[in-house]
Amino acid sequence: MDLLQNRRPNRLRKGSEDLHGSGTLDPTGARVSVTPGGGADRVLGFTGYRHPPSYVPRNSVLVQVWAVGVDGVDARVVGLRLGKRKAGPDFEEDPEVQPPRSQFQEGSSKDANGKEGDHVPPKKLGRSASLRARLGSLSRRKGSISMKGGWSSDAEDGGTGKLRKSKGKSKELPPPPASYAEVGFIPGRSFVGRVLDCGWDVKDEHVRRGDWVIGHLETRKCGALTQFIVVDRHRVHRVPYPSTMNPPDPTASTTSATTTGMMSSSSGSSSRTARPVPQQSLTLEEFALLPLCAIPAYRAVQTFTSAFDGPGLNSTRPPPRSPVSMDESKKLRALVLHGHTGVGAMVVRMLAHLNWRISVHVPVPGRHEEHRPFMADAEERVRDLGGEEVIFDDGGLPGDPWWDDGRAAAVRVINGLKEDGDVFDAILDTLGGREIREASERLLKSHGLDADTAGKGAIDQLDEGSPVNKGLKKHSHGQFTTLVGEWPERVIPTTADNFRAGLRAIKINGGAANGPAGAREEKTRVGYAWINVTQDVDWEGQDIAANLGTALRLALEHNIRPVVQRARTQDEYSPEYHWQSGVIPFENTPEAFVNGDGPLSSGGTLVVKVVN
């Protein structure tokens, strides 16, 4: 029976269809959901026999999911805590796990095995060496080389005011309470698939049977890690056929009778369902990550362009390309935390398209033998994204909480940039936390170092020539945008969280500042914006479907695509890179959702292939 063209009249109620009785769906389907008895480190389980949806509402579509994109938000929704090390009640510092990083001392060019290498690491885990020549503001503080942590702050508490190290053994703070999902909860928000059926009120100009679609589900409900889902039409958008997939084969065996029928009908000659394959498209993996990364990235860039009254990504005005605007000293400069992957990488590409200068913060792995290949890969990736500089952190100190997901190390990086005299116009926070917001506001208020101060040893000039406008602040205001908020473990914000964020957004951030530039910093205003994961409408009043259409246009016309982790040829140096290929089969999904240093920590993303 042609499943995509034959439709049985509704016998259940108005606006729905009996899918089981009509033979449209196979009576069983697989899913990944929260299961009891898995323990603290295994909260999800794979179930192969579950009833798929029984009807399609009037304004919804039935989609067979082919791939799902997941990130740290999906892990925190089910109660996991992400960090540099694995959680445990009897956890203690192990010198074998966190050895001193002595190979990154000044003048050392040997790797962990004592062999000479052609890639000389920095004196400490700081700024990139290969991208340094492209940036005018290039410097590093003197006397900050540390045996236990690369870019250390002069403050005893590491710049956070909370993470202090006592004598002998580090005293770790207890993790904050996490919210746990109920048994049967299905995670996953971003997906790509094919439409099996549509509700009666879904018009053909929106989506029709046989179309490939991408979608983004509500964070409070999720539910994408299953074979079949019913989605509101305002949360999906039609996309072209994936570029790397072969045309459908009617004789190919699939995971269910539904898949076979769908592929058979799509290869026919029906003008209603058959569509020509476009010459330009995205891969299935890129489509799975596009809603996950592009929607928050696009909304974050909206706050930047609105704060500085510049052309947006959806504007009819093209980005300025005049000789004046191409001057490096006149471009706006942004700092993106965890800008090497996930949402941060999409923001880097969007800002590069708008002629911004972007410095990308990248966290280093916890084991010292991983630093060299990881840093080389990060520099190459940031260069391809359009970034101007890579700023590595110290990889975490022994006194940092294991559950902070690198926030303490990021605070030390931000404090170090301020002491270096760097000037930024905007900062994107992908980690969350009050400490990062406070440190970012101090950096955005900074006007850099004066010429007389820069020559007194505060800045270590590593490159020839003078820095370009080291102490020049082009605007009297800055913009801080966060994707997480001040409570990263609380994915679903409360009413009080939204109220405080609203007050902070309309507040004029000022206050006295110390130092020679205190008078100017006192007048600097820092705007605040929080891109909430539960927000269905953006700053311009567009819904999810409209944002998906904009993201698809940017991907096809300007090559602003999500980063899919590529498979490594050398993965023996770290067991953590077992999942860093970025694509995992459906049945192995529970193994990727783990506490501590898992594949979804440090801004990592994964693509779950539901249909192989």
Ranking 26-35, 110-119, 199-208, 258-267 by mean pLDDT, the lowest is: 258-267
CB 603 within 8 A of CB 362: no
Nearby residues of 552 by Cβ (< 8 Å), 6 or more positions away: 214, 237, 239, 290
Calculate mean pLDDT across residues 288-295: 96
Calculate mean pLDDT across residues 138-166: 37
Together in a domain, 273 and 293 = no
Summarize pLDDT for 63-83 with one digit per residue, the tens: 999 999 999 999 989 988 887
Pick the last residue of a domain from 532, 558, 584. 558
131 located within any domain: no
pLDDT confidence of residue 515? 45
Closest CA to 432 of 151, 182, 81: 81
Ranking 19-23, 243-247, 260-264 by mean pLDDT, the lowest is: 260-264
Kindly provide the residue ranges of all beta strands, DSSP E only, lying in 226-276, ordered along the sequence. 228-232, 236-239
* Cα(25)–Cα(33) distance, integer angstroms: 20
CB 360 within 8 A of CB 389: yes
6 located within any domain: no
In degrees and rounded to multiples of 5, residue 528 shows phi and psi of: -130, 135
Provide the angle, in degrees to the nearest 10, between the axes of the packed helices 342-353 and 371-385. 40
pLDDT confidence of residue 500? 86
Together in a domain, 427 and 506 = yes
CB atoms within 10 A of CB 525: 16
pLDDT of 395 over the 50 cut: yes
Together in a domain, 235 and 259 = yes
pLDDT confidence of residue 523? 64
Nearby residues of 422 by Cβ (< 8 Å), 6 or more positions away: 137, 359, 443, 446, 448
Band of the pLDDT at 398, cuts 50, 70, 90? confident
CATH number, domain at 548?
Answer: 3.40.50.720
pLDDT confidence of residue 3? 42
Amino acid at 260: T
* CA 489 to chain CA mean position, Å: 16
pTM (two decimals): 0.76
Together in a domain, 304 and 438 = yes
542 located within any domain: yes
Report the SS3 class of residue 196: strand
CB 535 within 8 A of CB 554: no
Supply the DSSP symbol for 348: H
Together in a domain, 536 and 427 = yes
Nearby residues of 366 by Cβ (< 8 Å), 6 or more positions away: 84, 85, 97, 98, 395, 396, 597
- Percentage, residues of the chain above pLDDT 70: 60
pLDDT confidence of residue 351? 95
Q: How many domains does the chain have?
A: 2
pLDDT of 158 over the 60 cut: no
pLDDT confidence of residue 128? 63
At which residue do the structure tokens 């490096």 appear? 328
Band of the pLDDT at 519, cuts 50, 70, 90? very low
201 located within any domain: yes
CATH number, domain at 44?
Answer: 3.90.180.10
112 located within any domain: no
Structure-block tokens of residue 45: 């389980």
Distances (CA, A) of 66 to 103, 195, 253, 402, 451: 45, 11, 15, 35, 58
pLDDT confidence of residue 487? 86
Together in a domain, 348 and 258 = no
Ranking 91-100, 332-341, 462-471, 599-608 by mean pLDDT, the lowest is: 91-100
Together in a domain, 547 and 587 = no
* Cα(576)–Cα(566) distance, integer angstroms: 15
pLDDT of 254 over the 90 cut: no
Count of residues making up the chain: 612
Calculate mean pLDDT across residues 349-374: 84
Together in a domain, 467 and 584 = no
Calculate mean pLDDT across residues 467-491: 75
CB 181 within 8 A of CB 78: yes
The DSSP code sequence of 99-151 is ---GGGSTT--B-TTS-B-SSPPPSSS-B-STTGGG-S---B-TT---SS-SS
* Cα(533)–Cα(536) distance, integer angstroms: 8
Band of the pLDDT at 279, cuts 50, 70, 90? very low
User: Nearest 5 degrees, angle CA 216-CA 219-CA 221?
Assistant: 100
Going by DSSP bridges, is the β-strand pair 606-609/583-585 parallel, antiparallel, or unpaired? parallel
In degrees and rounded to multiples of 5, residue 393 shows phi and psi of: -95, -170
Calculate mean pLDDT across residues 44-59: 83
Together in a domain, 401 and 479 = yes
* Cα(596)–Cα(86) distance, integer angstroms: 4
pLDDT confidence of residue 567? 53
60 located within any domain: yes
pLDDT of 311 over the 50 cut: yes
360 located within any domain: yes
Calculate mean pLDDT across residues 144-149: 31
- Percentage, residues of the chain above pLDDT 90: 33
Together in a domain, 494 and 516 = yes
564 located within any domain: no
Element (H, E) at 194: strand 190-198
Structure-block tokens of residue 378: 């990060």
Summarize pLDDT for 80-128 with one digit per residue, the tens: 888 765 433 333 333 333 333 322 223 333 443 444 433 333 334 456 6
User: Which structural domain range is residue 189 located in?
Assistant: 19-80+182-282+572-609
Together in a domain, 264 and 315 = no
Bridge partners (DSSP) listed for residue 337: 361
Together in a domain, 195 and 49 = yes
* Cα(541)–Cα(547) distance, integer angstroms: 10
